Amino acid sequence: MKTRKLGNSHLEVSAIGLGCMGLSHGYGPATDRQTAITLIRTAVDRGVTLFDTAEVYGPFLNEDVVGEALAPVRDQVVIATKFGFTFGDDGKQQILNSRPDHIRWAVEGSLKRLRTDVIDLLYQHRVDPEVPIEDVAGTVKDLIAEGKVKHFGLSEAGAQTIRRAHAVQPVTALQSEYSMWWREPEKEILPTLEELGIGFVPFSPLGRGFLTGAIRADATFGKDDYRSQVPRFSPEALQANQTLVNLLGQIAGKKGFTPAQVALAWLLAQKPWIVPIPGTTKLHRLDENLGAAAVELSDDELRAIAGILEQVRIQGDRYSPAHQARVGR
């Protein structure tokens, strides 16, 4: 597995990481614990060194599974987790909370669940409008000085928030959605990150599964599958967006790779400091995703893909209105 550095930091990780959320949260019932641990440890065997989790995934369950899976190889991997929420009386409602005292409380819990004495990369999961980002960055700066955290990250933050945070404590990475079917970061976020020397960790790099070609227009999703609430996964949007998958499949077929591999290779080709974190619950999909690191797209192929992307108009919002309100602050 090739490696990359996240921006100007010295944090070197595998070119493709593993997003662990779907093992416990968001896409239906949690994966059997031992099955999840086996998948994570197989990823380590395949050369993956960046593993992404968060306290909110479960809540708390995913961190615990990731911690158990990686404990035997803790010194070989980079663990990223996130703070930023408290939970309602039902234990599931997500309430933004990045007060300094809560950040400290959250970090102590994450350290215990992850079975470690230091978090390699700590993200603010979503910007909290009630707490100045300078206070958030200052708290993480103190945690770094105390040896409990190594690197500071933000998730789905806007350009000005990134700049303000970076002025207090250098931001190592931004994690936000970016893929062939969500290219909004190209307008303002990518130039900002390049200017400041910040790495980019795209989540949902396969469009929550859509870019694999496995989700057809008549697909349905259970109530415990997050995609059931996403406008982009309505039958009408799936039908309209199938054009992109069809064109992606044609390019992949010519190269002898899968659509997922071409979609990930396209991301890797955008900037040398981009490290996507596709998630999966299946070993064969893990191998498929990691195989993208070996896919080389020529300049001609990248220009052809760029032309296709300019022609295709993706239908449907990527978030429900409630979730969209938390993005880009």
For 143, residues 6+ apart whose C-beta sits below 8 A from its C-beta are 103, 104, 107, 122, 149
pTM for this model (two decimals): 0.96
Contact in structure between 317 and 231 (CB atoms under 8 Å): yes
Give the domain CATH number at 78: 3.20.20.100
Q: Is residue 87 domain-resident? A: yes
Q: Catalytic residue at 57?
A: yes
For tokens 């614990």, the residue is 33
- Distance separating alpha carbons of residues 216 and 228, to the nearest angstrom: 14
Phi, psi of 152 (to 5 degrees): -110, 135
Q: Is residue 313 domain-resident? A: no
pLDDT in tens, 68-91: 999 999 999 999 999 999 988 777
Residues with pLDDT less than 50, the chain: none
> Helices marked H in the chain — which ranges?
33-45, 61-70, 100-113, 133-145, 159-168, 189-196, 235-255, 259-270, 283-290, 299-311, 321-324
Q: What per-residue confidence (pLDDT) applies to 139?
A: 98
pLDDT in tens, 142-162: 999 999 999 999 999 999 999
Q: Is residue 148 domain-resident? A: yes
Contact in structure between 78 and 48 (CB atoms under 8 Å): no
Can you give the residue range of the structural domain that contains 201? 3-213+271-294
Contact in structure between 124 and 82 (CB atoms under 8 Å): yes
DSSP sequence for 141-203: HHHHHTTSEEEEEEES--HHHHHHHHHHS-EEEEEEE-BTTB-GGGTTHHHHHHHHT-EEEEE
Q: Is residue 259 domain-resident? A: no
Q: Is residue 15 domain-resident? A: yes
Q: What per-residue confidence (pLDDT) applies to 292?
A: 98
Residue from 27, 57, 123, 226 carrying the catalytic annotation: 57
Q: What per-residue confidence (pLDDT) applies to 311?
A: 87
Q: Is residue 199 domain-resident? A: yes
For 88, residues 6+ apart whose C-beta sits below 8 A from its C-beta are 94, 95
Number of domains forming the structure of the chain: 1
Q: Is residue 220 domain-resident? A: no
The token duo for 218 is: 């008549």
Contact in structure between 195 and 162 (CB atoms under 8 Å): no
The token duo for 74 is: 């803790």
Q: Is residue 278 domain-resident? A: yes
